[in-house]
Amino acid sequence: TQLLEQSPQFLSIQEGENLTVYCNSSSVFSSLQWYRQEPGEGPVLLVTVVTGGEVKKLKRLTFQFGDARKDSSLHITAAQPGDTGLYLCAGANTNAGKSTFGDGTTLTVKP
């Protein structure tokens, strides 16, 4: 069983601060996705990374895939209350194949 560990489990910060959350595994993945989930809704895909060392930017969010394709990080610059939510990472080993999810980081950004 491939496991993804996310840290920290909970993070509470003030608006305007920067933060980084992590997703680690002992297994290699062909691709890794990051999702954000708000209460009462399903996860929404933010980004997919497929190449070791790849960095993708989405406005104030920066995603990095580890060189060995076992880990990933999500950095948010100048966090806003709208960034509040559960951030989930998921790894897959085949294109459009099943993904294994971590248990997420719950982020709260206080105004």
Partner 1 sequence: EAGVAQSPRYKIIEKRQSVAFWCNPISGHATLYWYQQILGQGPKLLIQFQNNGVVDDSQLPKDRFSAERLKGVDSTLKIQPAKLEDSAVYLCASSSLDGYTFGSGTRLTVV
Q: Say how far apart CA 1 and CA 16 lie, in whole Å.
A: 38
CB 18, min distance to partner 1, A? 24
CB 16, min distance to partner 1, A? 28
Dig out the tokens for 6 from the structure: 């996310």
The residues binding partner 1 (CB under 8 A) are 4, 6, 33, 35, 40-45, 48, 88, 90, 95-96, 98-104
Number of other residues whose CB lies within 10 A of the CB of residue 78:
10
Q: Say how far apart CA 37 and CA 69 lie, in whole Å.
A: 24
What residues are paired with 86 via a beta bridge?
37, 106
Residue number with CB closer to partner 1 (78 or 88): 88
Residue number with CB closer to partner 1 (62 or 100): 100
Residue number with CB closer to partner 1 (44 or 68): 44
